[in-house]
Amino acid sequence: MLYVKILSLGDHTVNQPLLLDTGSSGMTIECQSVLSAELCSDTGIKITKDQQIDGIMVTTQQAVMTYGTYDEYGNVAYARVAFGSPKSPVATITAIPFLIRYKVVRRSTGEIVGGPLWAKGTFGISPVGGGGPDRIIKSPLAYVNFGPGLHKGYYLSPIGAKWKVCTNEDGNCPQVEALHIGVPKDVKRDFRVQSWKVASLRYNFPTIDACISWGFEPTCRPTLYDTGNSTIMVPTDASAPYSSLNRGTKVLVKADGQDDWNFKTTYNPEVEIVPGLEHNIVGIRYFEKNSLLLDFETREIGLRLGH
């Protein structure tokens, strides 16, 4: 998966990688990455009134952020956020709302989940929607200055196809220069660009219409290109069983005005057929060799295959 390092919150040095998520809007971070351990518990953050802690305003206002089949519970907080490479950090121009989470719950069972292989939070950069009360928790990119001559937005260059086993705790994950903040005109010309859509007002992400097929009738739906998802997901009827494609299956993703993306599955489950899902999700596999662009000013999505 792809992570962005949070360097600091307010006056507090963090150095905590968070999952980069193009399919959600707003930032969450685990309580113990921000506050002292005695303030953090599975039942809540142990404060009785709003408190300023190391330049972070921690409030008693609680919120739940929803991600797929999981919910993150926490308190709304406010702070300036610095993130990215320590050599060329990016900082929000003001204190922004985010969620200090105290537990992650599997919605179907109520089970509290976590551990070394779970992300310590989410860095959601979708320009659509938001989370928390009145959707106040929005993408940190809504609060940064963009360079002169650049459109507000971002593009992601390929992250590479050579994966290695690593953990953020061990600090042995490779770094890639993938997230580029601001959209130059000359870069945008390399993408096939079209207006984005919003599949539903309930969703915090923009989509384009695309069809996914593997030798059968294509499944055509609003489609999210999602760095926060480890697989590719295709919907089926709510009454149908869950299934996934075998390794070695040839898959085609086709969208009007875009180049066709062909690939072969390398593991199972890499493409999942999910009952009741309302849209297609193209996950991290796409980003290995291909690029995504979002122009916030023109409300456009661009795809670029092969580089």
pLDDT at 164 over 90: no
For domain 188-304, which architecture applies? Beta Barrel (2.40)
CA distance 98 to 29: 8
> Has residue 165 got a pLDDT over 80?
no
- pLDDT value for 286: 97
Region 45-73 average pLDDT: 95
Q: Which two tokens stand for residue 273?
A: 């057929």
CATH number for the segment(s) 3-143:
2.40.70.10
Per-residue pLDDT, averaged over 144-163, amounts to 93
Per residue in 174-192, pLDDT (tens digit) is 888 999 999 999 999 999 9
Q: Among 71-85, 140-154, 159-173, 267-281, which is the least confidently predicted range?
A: 159-173
- Asked if 3-143 and 188-304 have one fold, the answer is yes
Average pLDDT over residues 69-85: 96
Q: What is residue 167's predicted lDDT score, i.e. its pLDDT? A: 76
Global pTM reads: 0.94
- Please report, for the chain, the start and end positions of each structural domain, with discontinuous segments joined by +: 3-143, 188-304
Closest CA to 47 of 38, 56, 55: 38
